[in-house]
Chains A and B, each alone.
Chain A
Amino acid sequence: MELLTGLICFGVLMLGAAILYAVLYNSLIAKKNQVEYAYSGVDVQLKKRHDLIPNLVASVKQYMEHERGLLERITELRSRAMNPDLPEGERMQVEAALSGALRNLMVAVENYPQLRANENFMHLQASLNEVEEQIAAARRTYNAAVTDYNNAIEMFPTNLIASTMGLKRRAVFEAEEAERATPNVAQLFQR
């Protein structure tokens, strides 16, 4: 009888432990997938930007004779970023460089009043602002997901399970100071 009670107790304990393990395991998987999902959100927006660049470059080329170097650099960075064989870390660096170059372009545009009268260009500029805003939002979503995930794999008790699952810390996107501010039209116009 006592043996039976003991066995039942043991069984209940084991079952409890198994359920707890399953819950924690699943929550970790959910967080890992959340990170991947958020990453694909960034990816989608970066691709949108790639699609926008050829039109943008084509529409400003004829006006911006003096900025040819900048335009070539943008085109080159775009094709490098689109290379599927590029490792993830390096790709993000290229994208960051592309962000910087595009910002410089938008500043340089202010020296060309004809461009500001060009309906097509104004539309492209709005689209670029839009996509940059979406990229920023997607990155922040990614960072929030990564923070959540990193917390889970470092905090007790999920850290115990995480180490058996081989989950590693992920890095967040570091936003450049200039990227943090929303595009400010007034500032652009002053130039």
Chain B
Amino acid sequence: MSNAPTDALRQLEPILRALEQERTQYVSQFAQISLWSVAIGGTLSLLLAAFGAGVWAIALLFVALIVIAAAYASKADAWRRAFKAQVMTQLVQFVNPNLRYYPEQHISRREYDLSMLYHNSPAPDRYYGEDLIEGVIDKTDIRLSELHTEYKQVTYDSKGRRHEQWITIFRGLFISADFHKDFKGVTLVLPDTEQSWLGGFGQWLQSLSAKLGNQPGELIKMEDPEFERLFKVFATDPIEARYILTPNMIRRIVEFRAKTKSAIRLSFIASRVFVAIPTYHNHFEPPSLFAPADKLLAPETLPRYFEELRFALAVVDELNLNTRIWTKR
């Protein structure tokens, strides 16, 4: 499962070629609009300038620029939609026919709140997402999308002036999947920042934080030193936390973190697992509208998107969620 099935993916190449034609259409439409804007705007503003209305000439040139920018935005958007509707939808089906892809939808705010993954951050004032994939992989139902959540920070300087700033809470892939065991409580696996540079004192701070009610339940120490270095665990029931985080699962989480190369966090609530993978890469996006034709048609294009998809769906295998040997079916 490490390499994308390149030969099979070739079957999808006709879609890419059709899409490439669509792209050249968008580019030529954009070129036409731009040319006309420049021609009409330029001529008129020259005339206006000749009659001494220099201000109007400049304003008109500005309008022409706005028209060009708007044309670009609309064509780039049409291209994005076309790519997602044709290539991504097919690829998702290809990876697993039980999965559905909704380019404009995302993980609901309700689910984001339920996950408690960012319950210590301020509630998001801006909640944006796209590329929802959902369905059932073998026995595990899974839902994931890109998410970007931000909150607004308002500060006043010494002169009483108001400053607004948008601060990102989370940006990346957000996954919600059925867990293979039943449980009732809350278990959070968060990146350990304090202990990594404050050592034992950091751990004491963490357990204090749980006692003060900033975290659900109590701080749970696991036996695996590598896991302990990377993560801190809070849980409402220590036995349940270890029922979920078996030594095997702990190793899998450590390895999954290494593969994603990012400070992942997980929560286990209501028999589901929620995973947040912060990434700054915008997933499932087409190459730029103006990228040369061979970029889209290159042999590595489809495998690359395929890999991106599989990376997003890897959590099912990585956490072994399809193993159903316990009482949950």
User: Is A117 positioned at the interface, with any CB of B under 8 Å from its CB?
Assistant: no
Question: How far is the CB of A158 from the nearest CB of chain B, in Å?
Answer: 15
User: Is A140 positioned at the interface, with any CB of B under 8 Å from its CB?
Assistant: yes
- Asked whether A133 lies within 8 Å of B243 as measured between CB atoms, the reply is yes
- Asked whether B239 lies within 8 Å of A133 as measured between CB atoms, the reply is no
Residues on A with C-beta less than 8 A from B240 are: 137
User: Is A144 positioned at the interface, with any CB of B under 8 Å from its CB?
Assistant: yes
Q: Binary interface profile of A, 126-158, with partner B (CB < 8 Å = 1, else 0)?
A: 110110011011101101100000000000000
Given A130-B326, A144-B238, A136 and B246 touching (CB < 8 A)? Answer: yes
Least CB separation from B249: chain A residue: A182
Least CB separation from A138: chain B residue: B239
Least CB separation from A139: chain B residue: B242
Residues on A with C-beta less than 8 A from B323 are: 185
- Asked whether A127 lies within 8 Å of B327 as measured between CB atoms, the reply is yes
- Asked whether B181 lies within 8 Å of A133 as measured between CB atoms, the reply is yes
Give chain A's interface residue range (CB within 8 Å of chain B). Answer: 20 to 34
Complex Cα distance A134/B238, Å? 11
- Asked whether B327 lies within 8 Å of A126 as measured between CB atoms, the reply is yes
- Asked whether A137 lies within 8 Å of B242 as measured between CB atoms, the reply is yes
- Asked whether A126 lies within 8 Å of B326 as measured between CB atoms, the reply is yes
User: Is B97 positioned at the interface, with any CB of A under 8 Å from its CB?
Assistant: no
Give chain B's interface residue range (CB within 8 Å of chain A). Answer: 10 to 19
Residues on B with C-beta less than 8 A from A143 are: 223
Q: Binary interface profile of B, 228-245, with partner A (CB < 8 Å = 1, else 0)?
A: 000000000011111100
- Asked whether A137 lies within 8 Å of B243 as measured between CB atoms, the reply is yes
- Asked whether A129 lies within 8 Å of B326 as measured between CB atoms, the reply is yes
Question: How far is the CB of B283 from the nearest CB of chain A, in Å?
Answer: 32
Complex Cα distance A125/B323, Å? 14
Given A127-B327, A144-B221, A133 and B246 touching (CB < 8 A)? Answer: yes
Contact of A130 among B221, B238, B327 (CB under 8 A): B327
Question: How far is the CB of B40 from the nearest CB of chain A, in Å?
Answer: 70
User: Is B325 positioned at the interface, with any CB of A under 8 Å from its CB?
Assistant: yes
- Asked whether B181 lies within 8 Å of A140 as measured between CB atoms, the reply is no
User: Is B199 positioned at the interface, with any CB of A under 8 Å from its CB?
Assistant: no
Complex Cα distance A138/B240, Å? 8
Least CB separation from A41: chain B residue: B239
Q: Binary interface profile of B, 214-230, with partner A (CB < 8 Å = 1, else 0)?
A: 00000011010000000
Q: A129-B326, A138-B239, A182-B246 are in contact. List 9 more A-B contacts (CB 8 A).
A: A126-B327, A129-B327, A133-B326, A134-B239, A141-B238, A141-B239, A143-B223, A181-B248, A185-B323
Give me the interface of B with A, judged by CB distance under 8 Å: 181, 220-221, 223, 238-243, 246-249, 323, 325-327
14 contacts across the A-B interface (CB closer than 8 A): A38-B238, A125-B325, A126-B327, A133-B243, A134-B243, A136-B242, A137-B241, A137-B243, A141-B238, A143-B223, A144-B223, A181-B248, A182-B246, A185-B325
